[in-house]
Amino acid sequence: MPIDKATVAKIARLARIRVPEAEQERLAGELSNILGWVEQLSEVDTADVRPMSSVVETVLPMRPDAVTDGGCRDDITANAPAPAHGFFTVPKVVE
């Protein structure tokens, strides 16, 4: 997918960066080369590759899915500037 100077100018405007007119032609060639490399990735056969979330093989620890209150409400609100009855209090913002 070749990129022209108009596309480079549009990308620069969207990114809010100033690209001089003389640099646009060079950047168009560089961006075209980058997109060529990305297009080559579609040629790679990944049919037998398992999806993964990390390059390191790890097994996440499992825990029971139980709803709790955490049991540490007082510890959490201890650092609040003005806790009241186990809740955070904030200044009134709406009159």
- The DSSP-derived string for the chain is ----HHHHHHHHHHTT----HHHHHHHHHHHHHHHHHHHHHTTS--TTPPP-S-SS---PPP--------S-HHHHHTTSSS-BTTB--------
pLDDT digits (tens, 9 = 90+) for 14-27: 999 999 999 999 99
pLDDT digits (tens, 9 = 90+) for 37-61: 999 998 999 888 888 877 888 888 8
pTM of the entire predicted model: 0.49
CATH topology of domain 5-41: Histone, subunit A (1.10.20)
